[in-house]
């Protein structure tokens, strides 16, 4: 157990406040100890007499993201890769901003734009050019009618190029180029600076490029859309005509943490995939581009995402069982203990120090009711707020009665007299 033992030089007198202001302390919960910083928030309860927060020794392991993180990034069998945590931390990368073909990962953007421009129930008639687009196919037939939702699943699950073309021509009012313009506008909106689309399906074409970083950003955005998350997590889909189509994503049925994503393969792109994985409440997003084979891609993505999941652990960020501060009450009445109403558990990177900010009075006027809001605790990872909670009175403390006050005054008078005599 690591005990906090260090305060800055201004942690006592320099931090005293008049009635109507709160004391404020920041605590660095890394193994090295504790840092304190100042701010001057307004007090919520004018009746409280406020002074510096008294910071007692504290078990740092309760909040610090303990456990040794795997420091060496994995060596992935791919041309480029990128890995990011749900908190935005970049966990691994290699040539992640290099523009290159991404094959059918393109269809993630096609799906995003289609959902923005059409309703799932809209009916699409398959045009003659769609059924001859080539390579991976949902076996669409000229003249048949499917809903936008059915085409999206036929595009994302078996990676149907014909389904992508059908959606593009429908939304682009007969022009795939018009639809591609919408794709590029959305790419710019999402900040995909390495990305330019030339078609809706991802077949090799001059100038059709993205990067591992942009593909990861794109799939993360798409997985935040419920319909797309559901589609990319399915192993099969059945479309009209009794056609049951299988996913191209081998890891969906073989590796439990995989949430979903999109595969891709062409001569220029190699074997590629962008996806997310989740385990014990931790989610990471990653992309591998340019593996030499389907099996190599599967192993590369699994290894990358597993590495990311291993960088986090779930810990109690805010602990209901801990007393965060105590406020004196006067007249010999017991101090008011400030606690969090409930425990908050978060996924945090291993070995990364956190900063805890406790805002609480050190003196209170009575009475105080159990559960009364009296302060606040906030936990930060750098500038990112990880968790926050009100601090409430653990127990009620009644106002001192006449006898208690008289006893207190008598005791104080006796002590003062004794001090004068001795």
Other Cβ atoms within 10 Å of 412 Cβ, number: 12
Element holding 182 (H helix, E strand): helix 176-189
Indicate the DSSP class of residue 44.
S
Query: Which region holds residue 260: left if phi is over 0, alpha if psi is between -120 and 50, else beta?
Result: left
Is the per-residue pLDDT at 368 higher than 50?
Answer: yes
Dump pLDDT digits (tens) for 77-104.
999 999 999 999 999 999 999 999 999 9
Task: Show the tokens assigned to 177.
Answer: 């180029």
Q: What is the pLDDT of residue 360?
A: 93
Q: What is the pLDDT of residue 412?
A: 61
Mean pLDDT over all residues of the chain? Answer: 83
Is the per-residue pLDDT at 48 higher than 70?
Answer: no
Dump pLDDT digits (tens) for 201-256.
999 999 999 999 999 999 999 999 999 999 999 999 999 989 999 999 999 999 99
Is the per-residue pLDDT at 19 higher than 50?
Answer: no
Residues 6 or more apart in contact with residue 31 via CB below 8 angstroms:
2, 60, 64, 353
Dump pLDDT digits (tens) for 396-416.
988 765 555 556 565 666 677
CA pseudo-torsion sign 222, 287, 192, 93: positive
Write down the pTM of the prediction. Answer: 0.77
Residues 6 or more apart in contact with residue 184 via CB below 8 angstroms:
195, 196, 197
CA distances in angstroms from 167 to 173, 272, 291, 365, 413, listed in the order given? 10, 23, 29, 68, 88
- Residue 354 in contact with residue 321, Cβ under 8 Å? no
- Residue 100 in contact with residue 289, Cβ under 8 Å? yes
Determine the distance from the C-alpha atom of residue 165 to the mean position of all C-alpha atoms in its chain, rounded to a whole number. 34
Is the per-residue pLDDT at 14 higher than 90?
Answer: no
Band (71; pLDDT cuts 50, 70, 90): low
Other Cβ atoms within 10 Å of 319 Cβ, number: 20
CA pair distance 110, 228, nearest whole angstrom: 11
Residue 221, SS3 per DSSP: helix
- Domains of the chain plus CATH, in order, are 13-63+349-421 (no CATH), 80-313 (3.40.710.10)
For residue 402, count CB atoms less than 10 angstroms from its CB and return exposed for 0-12, middle for 13-18, buried for 19 or more.
Answer: exposed
Nearest to 171 by CA among 120, 220, 241, 131: 120
CA pair distance 138, 350, nearest whole angstrom: 44
């Amino acid at each position: 157990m690591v005990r906090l033992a260090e305060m800055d030089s201004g942690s006592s007198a320099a931090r005293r406040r008049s009635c109507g202001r709160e004391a404020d302390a920041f605590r660095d919960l890394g193994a090295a100890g504790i840092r304190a910083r100042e701010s001057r928030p307004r007090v919520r309860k004018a009746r409280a007499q406020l002074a510096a927060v008294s910071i007692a020794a504290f078990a740092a392991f309760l909040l610090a993201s303990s456990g040794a993180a795997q420091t060496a990034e994995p060596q992935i069998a791919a041309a480029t890769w990128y890995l990011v945590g749900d908190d935005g931390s970049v966990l691994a990368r290699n040539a992640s901003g290099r523009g290159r073909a991404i094959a059918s990962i393109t269809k993630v953007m096609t799906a995003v734009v289609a959902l923005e421009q059409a309703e799932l129930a809209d009916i699409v008639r398959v045009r003659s050019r769609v059924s001859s687009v080539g390579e991976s196919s949902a076996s669409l037939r000229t003249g048949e009618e499917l809903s936008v939702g059915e085409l999206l699943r036929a595009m994302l699950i078996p990676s149907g190029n014909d389904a992508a073309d059908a959606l593009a021509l429908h939304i682009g009012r007969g022009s795939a180029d018009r639809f591609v313009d919408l794709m590029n506008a959305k790419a710019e909106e999402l900040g995909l600076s390495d990305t330019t689309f030339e078609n809706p399906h991802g077949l090799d074409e001059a100038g059709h490029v993205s990067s591992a970083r942009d593909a990861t950003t794109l799939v993360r955005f798409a997985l935040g859309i419920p319909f797309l998350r559901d589609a990319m997590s399915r192993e099969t889909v059945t479309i009209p005509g009794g056609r049951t189509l299988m996913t191209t994503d081998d890891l969906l049925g073989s590796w439990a943490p995989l949430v979903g994503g999109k595969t891709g393969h062409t001569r220029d792109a190699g074997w590629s995939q962008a996806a997310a994985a989740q385990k014990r409440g931790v989610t990471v997003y990653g992309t591998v581009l340019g593996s030499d084979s389907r099996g190599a891609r599967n192993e590369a993505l699994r290894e990358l995402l597993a590495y990311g999941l291993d960088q986090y652990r779930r810990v109690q960020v805010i602990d209901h069982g801990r007393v965060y501060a105590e406020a004196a009450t006067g007249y010999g009445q017991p101090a008011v203990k400030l606690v969090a109403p409930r425990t908050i558990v978060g996924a945090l990177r291993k070995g990364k120090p956190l900063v805890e900010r406790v805002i609480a009075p050190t003196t209170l006027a009575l009475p105080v009711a159990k559960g009364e809001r009296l302060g606040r605790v906030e936990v930060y990872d750098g500038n990112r707020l990880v968790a926050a909670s009100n601090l409430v009175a653990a127990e009620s403390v009644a106002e001192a009665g006449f006898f208690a006050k008289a006893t207190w005054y008598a005791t104080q008078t006796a002590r003062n007299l004794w001090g004068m005599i001795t």
